[in-house]
Structure 1
Amino acid sequence: MSATETTRLQVDLDEFVAREYPKVVAAVGMITGSPRDAEDAVQDAIVGYLANPPQREIRNLAAWITVVASNRVRDVQRSRGAESRALATVGVSDESVDSVVEGLDVDVVKALDQLPLQQRQVCVLHYLLDQSVQTIAEGLGVSEGTVKTQLHRARTTLARLIERGNHRG
């Protein structure tokens, strides 16, 4: 992308944010029936616009972002629906899933969210689901040594993050 094209994208986006952003968020919320997801979806659409600009010229950026964000919210809603149906099929309610997370210390949940994916996976499988290192290795398709290494790194990082969190408040 040329410097001129980058500048044009930035000008278009700056103008959009200054004039259209609140209206687009409200519109996406009304279209999808999910005002709480609308802002995240609009922001995702903006990031997508910057990261991978459309090949064709966009005449109305607000309309384009509204459509992209609305589609994103509907995708999220379909995913949530599929997840709820899958949980219902095996006899687990959303409330019971939420209660497990609510039973955890807030600092632990925040610290887990900051771990890299594989470390978070092995921690949850090992400590919350009481899975063995061997079972985790088989499930993730990695060696037992990798699982042990990831557990060690995760414990070290969690201890640091939780300790830092306890000194703030």
Structure 2
Amino acid sequence: MTQTIAVDMESFVATEYPQVVAAVGLITGNRQDAPDAVQDAIVGYLAKPPNREIQNLAAWITVVASNRLRDAYRSRDAEQRALAKVGLVDEAGDDALSSFDIDVKRALTALPPKQREAAVLHYLLDHSVNTIAEALGVSSGTVETQLFRARQTLAMKLRKEDHRG
């Protein structure tokens, strides 16, 4: 492991780790599994760093951990569907966003995954559009479009749920 990677990782763990875990929990809808996903992404980064230079380690780890966790969900969902076909259903539920205002939670979880991911990275973790684009491997215009659509949807949903009149 090069000295630069070790220094980057020490800085990340000391300053950004809790925020990244929270962001992965919001993006995936499961705070319980977020720390493990982030740790797996860190281990993967240390074991085999990407070939390209990573401009923002926190954004990169957030995206990698979120993707890995979603992949795990897909596998688990496929297993649950198979179990349901034979009459065995897992009743365990997880309300990962219970600490958020119920309206905000509903609005965030209703966003399409790419919009939710961009919104969490930008608005909750305060990453720039360029940083998010680099981490996701898309253009900054794509991120701007996702954020625009997320803002429109969130504004509409939260306005409808404002019961003050």
TM-score (norm 2): 0.53
Counterpart of 1:90? Answer: 86
Tell me which of 16, 26, 30 is aligned to 1:30.
Answer: 26
Q: Post-superposition, which runs of at least 4 consecutive aligned residues in structure 1 deviate over 3 A? A: none
**Shift of residue 52, structure 1, vs aligned partner:** 0.7
Counterpart of 2:65? Answer: 69
Residue 43 of structure 2 corresponds to residue 47 of structure 1: yes
- The whole-number CA distance in structure 2 between the counterparts of 1:17 and 1:39 is 12
- The whole-number CA distance in structure 2 between the counterparts of 1:14 and 1:45 is 15
- What is the SS of the residue equivalent to 1:77? helix
Structure 1 unaligned residues grouped into runs of 5+ = 96-169
Deviations 1:76-121 (A, max 9, x none): 11111101000011122226xxxxxxxxxxxxxxxxxxxxxxxxxx
Q: Which has the higher contact order (CA 8 A, sep 6+)?
A: 2
TM-score (norm 1): 0.52
- Paired letter, 1:53: P
Tell me which of 51, 54, 75 is aligned to 1:58.
Answer: 54
Structure 2 unaligned residues grouped into runs of 5+ = 92-165
Whose radius of gyration is greater, 1 or 2?
Answer: 1
Structure ranking higher in helix proportion = 1
**Shift of residue 6, structure 1, vs aligned partner:** 1.2
- The whole-number CA distance in structure 2 between the counterparts of 1:94 and 1:10 is 41
Q: CA RMSD in A?
A: 1.1
- Paired letter, 1:73: L
